[in-house]
Structure 1
Amino acid sequence: MNPVTLTAFLTPFLPFLLNLGNTAADKAAGKFGEDAWAKAKAVWEKLHPKVEAKAAAQEAVTDLAATPEDEDLQTALRVQLKKLLASDAALAEAIGQILQADAADGTPGIQIVQTVTGNQNQVIGQVTGGKVLGRVTDDITFSE
């Protein structure tokens, strides 16, 4: 399990995951989509006991939940997740399986990596509808 992928996936959910059980957390499904929210809760269920057991990881999660756009805090959580996953191969495998499982609508919930090379190229992306997106691999060429 790649800690970069895991951090990127969990970051938008953290404020809600830390407040599971209250009404704000219940609204997360509407914001992110049922499938994505279910995946985030399943990952957090596996990860939470390990985070709670390690003060540095707990602090990284709490700090990032308060300021999700802070890249330094994302890096801090990434480092803590890397340590947790390296020390528990079963946990890493379980989380990897959750993230790779297909959503109810058949779309796999895995990362999308975009690489652009060339003069004046851009990567522009937007996710709408709260769907968990599938894997996009290969070269794409646009001609004018």
Structure 2
Amino acid sequence: MDIIALTALLSPCLPFLLKAAESASADIGQDTWATTKKIWEKLRPKLEAKESARIAAEQVAANPTSEGRQQFLREELADLLQNDPELAAAIAQILQENPVPSGSVQVNQTITDNQGQVIGQMTGGKAIGRIDGNVQGGINL
């Protein structure tokens, strides 16, 4: 299971989850909120039973964008899931049934007759610039 993805999913929701706020779906999105609530139902008793994990969740809830706090929560989640295979399987099943949207952006564009400037595919902030002359065949840059 990808602990980083799980932490990224939980982090913005923890302030609402710890307060059991139903209004969160308007701020977060209904699909994300529904998936996170399902995971939280499984995870909450285990987090509350382990003080360091509970503290990690509270720390992320207080500052969801803090990378340091997210790292602390990732470590606690990894420990919980490693020591409880049933919990790990239950959360993996929820994530499989409700895939979390990826944060990456991909742009595909085909341009003709542009004086050699072509962007074929742009992923993760990488761009292909100007190509002069004739290019044929499958080109990977």
TM over 0.5: yes
SS at match of 1:75: helix
Aligned to 1:123: 124
**What TM-score do you get using the length of structure 2 for normalisation?**
0.72
* Residue aligning to 1:95: 91
When Rg is computed on C-alpha atoms for both structures, the one with the higher figure is: 2
Instruction: Name the structure with the higher strand share.
Output: 2
Structure having greater relative contact order (Cα 8 Å, sep ≥ 6): 1
Q: 1:110 aligns with which of 100, 107, 132?
A: 100
Q: Which of 78, 84, 92 is the matching residue for 1:82?
A: 78
Q: Please give the per-residue CA displacement for 1:91-136, whole angstroms capped at 9, x wherever unaligned.
A: 111101111214xxxxxx235375xxxxxx8726xxxxxxxxxxxx
Q: State the alpha-carbon separation in 2 of the partners of residues 35 and 143 from structure 1.
A: 38
Alignment partners' CA distance in 1, 2:6 and 2:48: 17
Counterparts of 1:66 and 1:86 in 2: how far apart (Å)? 26
Task: Measure the CA separation in 1 of the matches of 2:95 and 2:74.
Answer: 17
Number of residue pairs the alignment of both structures matches? 114
Counterpart of 2:4 in structure 1 is 4
Query: Which residue identity is paired with 2:72?
Result: A
Partner residue of 1:61?
A: 57
CA distance in 2, matches of 1:98, 1:142: 38
Structure 2: gaps spanning 5 or more residues: 105-121, 131-141
RMSD of the TM alignment (CA)? 2.6
| Large movers: runs of 4+ above 4 Å | 141-144
